[in-house]
Structure 1
Amino acid sequence: MNGTLHRTTDRTHLTLVPTSVPTPTPTPTVAELERLVAHPAPLRLTRRGRLVAVVLFLGALLAGGVLFGSTSTRASGEAGPARSYEYVIVQPGQTLWGIAKEVAPDDDPRATIEAIRRLNALPDGGIQAGQRIALP
């Protein structure tokens, strides 16, 4: 609202005079509401919003990989097929190289040694007499 300034002899008074009468907003019709619901405005993301969406998506992928990528069971909860391994008891003077040559004489011993190490979670190539080792 704008005001008009009126001067009197002894004082200055400010009188508020409305310049326009506010028009009430029309109530939308049922057809207009149905059109708005059927065809909503497209979602617009700002640069910052896109960045947040990408970071959240990558975080979800990372969390999914950490939580589900390192499990050894199936997602359905079923146990995998039972594997049976042959075991050997390491004799004095026996090495992984010798065991690998006995297990797979036609294969490269280095690959067989690596498979034995992974299967038995051996930190290095050292084994001790009396140790029980699963063979691939």
Structure 2
Amino acid sequence: MSALSLPQVSRPRQFRVHVVRVQQLLCRRGPARSVRQAPSAGIRLTRRGRLVLIGIPAMLLAVLLLSLAGLFNAPAKASDSAAELSLTPTVTVTVQPGQSLWSIAGEIAPGRDARDVVADIVQLNNLGAGAVLPGQQLYVPTH
């Protein structure tokens, strides 16, 4: 024989078929598998999410700053000094039976709008309901 060897004949592989029930697969506890989780990258925001997270608080801050600027820059003072204040010229009127604020306003200032005169009388006398009683004394503007 020569030094050459003949190729070996390969044998066909035999596969084993295992029939396993679904219940066995579900209850089967095999070796613990390591589940690799993705590292948490924090919060991923969409464009709308960034708008909500950054834009809305920024708008609220701007509204707050504008409101405070308007509050501090508003000309809310009546006058710079007490010398510049003027008193409203008034007369005292006693309410007679059957009189109302409208009739008093018409008698005192016939050239002015009665609604304005009634509003001035209510403000001067701190009248809540605008009703008057006979014998009540009222301050009525004469301008």
Normalising TM by the smaller chain, what interval?
Answer: 0.3 to 0.5
TM-score when scaled to structure 2? 0.44
TM-score when scaled to structure 1? 0.46
* Higher RCO (CA 8 Å, separation ≥ 6 residues): 2
